[in-house]
Structure 1
Amino acid sequence: MATEPNQLVIRQTASHHQSPRTGSPAPFLCKTYDLLEEEEEEELDHDNSCCNKRVVSWNGEGNSFVVWSPEDFSQFILPRYFKHKNFSSFIRQLNTYGFKKSATDRWEFHHDKFQKGRRDLLVEITRKKCEPSVFPAFLEASKRDYKVTAASVDENKHLLLEENKNLRKENSELLMQISHFKALETKLLDCLFQHTGSHNKTREFVRS
Structure 2
Amino acid sequence: MAQSSSVPGFIYKLWALVEDPDTDDVICWSLNGNNVKVVEEQRFTKVTLPRYFKHSNMSSFVRQLNMYGFRKVIKLDSGVVNHVTSSTIEFYHPCFKRANPSLLENIRRKVSSVKMDDTQIQQEDIHRVVKNVQQMKDKQDNMKEKLKSLSRENKDLWRELAYMRRKHSQQQRLLKKARLLPLSF
TM-score normalized by the length of structure 1? 0.44
More helix by share: 1
Using CA pairs under 8 Å that are at least 6 residues apart, name the structure with larger relative contact order, 1 or 2.
2
